[in-house]
A = this chain, B = another copy of it.
């Protein structure tokens, strides 16, 4: 087996609306998909309210523990957008109207004949020294400081920022996966599947029940960073289901 490089990440989704139920988050699942694809392991997600102390605590806990932290939400122009301040506080640096962001936004509003209001100027605020994350959708940039990447909460903007960001990240060996569908519920496959997992320690085998309103079936997902290791485990899972099927037909 070749040695695998492991790169870890966490996400912090920020916003009262996610906790009140008003907005159903779409960014967590998207980030999870994209990171899995490029070979970064998403290890933890937190959702907190638009409250400075909660954001500071969460971002400091996560950035010390994982290689990357991605945040969503709270970087717009209104009074409840406090993410730039909170991130600055977490890093112990000043939150400023970034000169490059001011120029970028000023030029954009001038082109559109719109007033560059104080509210709009809030979108240029970021910790001093932060790098920009380009925003091809609506100009106002996200920003990165240290290993923390701060993006918008609006899914189209979050996705565009992530797209411009991903090529520049250090990535690891991607986790490959195969899904084997089992017509049997978890109660039937539990014991033999645990045996398969034991015989393939370099894989992670997950079992996901589906309920159609009457009965349970199961998706068995095998994950590994090595294609050969993955294929061997997949074959054993398929053989296991075959064996259950044969034993049922013979009784």
- CB within 8 Å for A76 and B207 given contacts A20-B42, A216-B138: yes
State whether the Cβ of A223 lies closer than 8 Å to any Cβ in chain B. yes
Q: Which residues on B sit within 8 Å (CB–CB) of A47? A: 28, 44-46
Q: Restricting to A121-150, which residues have a CB under 8 Å from any CB of B? A: 122-123, 137-138
B33-A191 in contact (CB<8A): no
Q: Which residues of B contact A207 (CB under 8 A)?
A: 76, 78-81
11 residue pairs bridging A and B, Cβ less than 8 Å apart: A20-B175, A20-B177, A43-B54, A45-B45, A78-B186, A81-B207, A117-B191, A119-B188, A119-B194, A154-B209, A156-B211
Q: Which residue numbers of A lie inside 8 Å of B, CB to CB?
A: 15-25, 28-36, 41-50, 54, 76-81, 114, 117-120, 122-123, 137-138, 154, 156-157, 175, 177, 186-191, 193-194, 197, 204-211, 213, 216, 221, 223
